[in-house]
Structure 1
């Protein structure tokens, strides 16, 4: 594996520029976009109008960024839509269909408590990067995007169940829908959690990928008090195989409180999955059965249901970090500034434990209990990322685990990659 991949951060004045976040950060075969608000790039202010106009502007901003790096909208692998009122999704979908007329990315849809600048909607894209980021040496030419749907899992007319590109599969967030009836399963949180995970498993089986190849799970739950019940079910799915059980492998994980979910579901689960075979024309010797490298350090908080960082190919996926002191397991003393600093320290410790640095981060996702605290968060954030290199997402949620004020997750580049299995 080559070691000269670079983190490539870019901005265009055709889309809103934030002093602490790059519009897109490419690494290896993916471009990670900052979540786009409905801001007019000329004025920096919210566009006039309602949800329709705001949705259009979010997509226009994503399109401007995409085109500024010589890509097209059909290069998008995943779209994530955050909205403050779940009832707005019919209008959002009408706009959505005008930007994706043939190809459909995988998609996650969730209503949250608040968004920056009181926006009604925020839209984020993950983009393929076929040329890679090795200077003057394209990694594999124009890689092929592989899309797949199976009738063993719910089929949605506006999203693809899984989109594979290079060494990752990005799945659409799965609702607790019975694929035979297309309705939410009967029962409560346990039954719904089980159905979400069954749907993910069915999708993976349809493309001959083991369940234990999942590197990151995000659980969107309507009532955070349900998480204990969710975890009871979760533990029956992970680890899934004898090999995974032998090493106690569990994916990186984030738990996010949703204000509402589509179809009034209680839970929705999103998965990012390794793809050891890669997508053509990657050479066989570069792609075959790459190793998942999972790592925990005692210098950061350890959770029995999540691995702190799971590396695969050219990315490290880091579990969401709470402001916990790793020595005591308790929330740090103080307010939002102290909690923000502790979250970022934990991420720094984790990434350094695998011989990387903060400058390797390509994406940071921030979940805030009170969106009004964002200015204080940015004050601390700027001391860790003075150049504003990572792409970024900021979302306001009604509650967080352990009643903390902030939770932060991250994705880092892994220049050295992960090696193939040697038999």
Structure 2
């Protein structure tokens, strides 16, 4: 496999343009689309109306981006919906189904404390299949494979959508698939149910938990992180995927926890031949130049590296750095840079950045620091406000990074 695959960052005037992110960044067989606010691209202002109107505008912006790169909405493999009010989910669903009529992507829905631009009620991001690849890869009519099992909860989503060398799973709530109801018990029981649902989905497609490359864990109480980590250790006793813990203002069905996963798919999707690709290796990496954590700093599989959520910790002391939001943002990005460089990449190989802030008003200060780290084409980006971050940090950042050399045996 060529080791000079090119990252392609693009923007269209038919969707809102930002000076701190690219609308879409394609690398190899995926397009990473920045979270879209309900902005009119002509005015740059939040549209007038309620949550239905705003959800429609977010999805219209995504559709415009998708069509600008010669794709269609059915190429979406994953959607993440961020709401100001979890009770708006039914209204969003009414709009959502008008954009996906024949096929439903995998999906994550979470309420957060704040969104960029105070009048926004909803923000939506997307991950898109990219069968043509990026240069110098030859275009290939790869097939998207959407699957469900009766052994995991069903909803307004597909449980798993495989494309090329990744399976993208719908976020799992602590729901008993037999009853469709929340399991009884506290945070540990709920976390175990989420992970059991993930395990059931993976086993239904002949995969195992060790094929997970990244988990994002949404918690309504950040103090539950330690208990959830204990449960995760039982499901990942030896290899631990990259991980980000995000505080949710609320979750569907009043859940305490929801778990999102990205999963390796060594067998690929047709016309890729399983015998050619099934030996692809997951490469987990840690470096002494980033803060110690009970999970992998980065996990590479095929043409992507997934970097765990980085707190503003000094890697020498594992303590929060002194200073305000600018100092903390710089430390988060320095930690990501150290991780990326430890696997012989550069920070401009980043295709997607996710930022959580305890005060959304800090965003301008974050952007000042952020712009000093990227010299080339800007990554796609999602920013949300949260009520709390582990260790009382003001900011947390994770990243998805291109991996042009692939993982063995490529």
TM interval, shorter chain, is: over 0.9
Aligned match of 2:126: 125
> Per-residue CA shift, 1:188-240, capped at 9, x if unaligned?
1111000000000000000000110000000000111111211121111112x
Compute the TM-score of the two structures, normalised by the length of structure 2.
0.98
How do 1:383-422 residues align onto structure 2 when only pairs under 5 Å count?
Answer: 383-387=372-376, 389-420=378-409
1:108 aligned counterpart, secondary structure = strand
Aligned match of 2:39: 39
C-alpha separation between the residues in 2 aligned to 1:23 and 1:184?
37
Superposition deviation, residue 329 in structure 1: 0.6
Aligned match of 2:253: 263
Aligned match of 2:314: 325
Superposition deviation, residue 289 in structure 1: 2.2
Superposition deviation, residue 388 in structure 1: 5.2
Residue 372 (structure 1) aligned with residue 373 (structure 2): no
> Per-residue CA shift, 1:300-319, capped at 9, x if unaligned?
11212x10000000000000
How do 1:20-169 residues align onto structure 2 when only pairs under 5 Å count?
Answer: 20-118=20-118, 119-135=120-136, 137-139=137-139, 141-156=140-155, 158-169=156-167
C-alpha separation between the residues in 1 aligned to 2:367 and 2:391?
22
Aligned match of 1:8: 8
C-alpha separation between the residues in 2 aligned to 1:331 and 1:10?
36
C-alpha separation between the residues in 1 aligned to 2:281 and 2:201?
21
Aligned match of 1:350: 339
> Could you tell me which of 272, 279, 294 is aligned with 2:284?
294
Superposition deviation, residue 181 in structure 1: 0.3
1:199 aligned counterpart, secondary structure = helix
CA contact (8 A) 1:20 1:388 kept: no
CA contact (8 A) 2:266 2:274 kept: no
C-alpha separation between the residues in 1 aligned to 2:273 and 2:62?
31
Superposition deviation, residue 420 in structure 1: 2.6
Superposition deviation, residue 290 in structure 1: 0.4
CA contact (8 A) 1:20 1:385 kept: no
> Could you tell me which of 196, 207, 224 is aligned with 2:194?
196
Unmatched 5+ residue regions in structure 1?
240-244
1:57 aligned counterpart, secondary structure = helix
> Per-residue CA shift, 1:273-295, capped at 9, x if unaligned?
00000001124464222000110
> Per-residue CA shift, 1:87-117, capped at 9, x if unaligned?
1111100000100011000000000000000
Aligned match of 2:168: 170
C-alpha separation between the residues in 2 aligned to 1:284 and 1:230?
35
Aligned match of 1:340: 329
C-alpha separation between the residues in 1 aligned to 2:325 and 2:51?
31
Aligned match of 2:183: 185
CA contact (8 A) 1:162 1:172 kept: yes
1:117 aligned counterpart, secondary structure = coil
C-alpha separation between the residues in 2 aligned to 1:366 and 1:266?
22
C-alpha separation between the residues in 1 aligned to 2:397 and 2:377?
16
C-alpha separation between the residues in 2 aligned to 1:282 and 1:340?
41
2:314 aligned counterpart, secondary structure = coil
C-alpha separation between the residues in 2 aligned to 1:100 and 1:201?
27
Instruction: Report which stretch shifted further, 11-20 or 287-296.
Output: 287-296
Aligned match of 1:273: 263
C-alpha separation between the residues in 2 aligned to 1:216 and 1:387?
26
The CA RMSD measured in Å over matched residues stands at 1.0
Aligned match of 1:212: 210
CA contact (8 A) 2:40 2:57 kept: yes
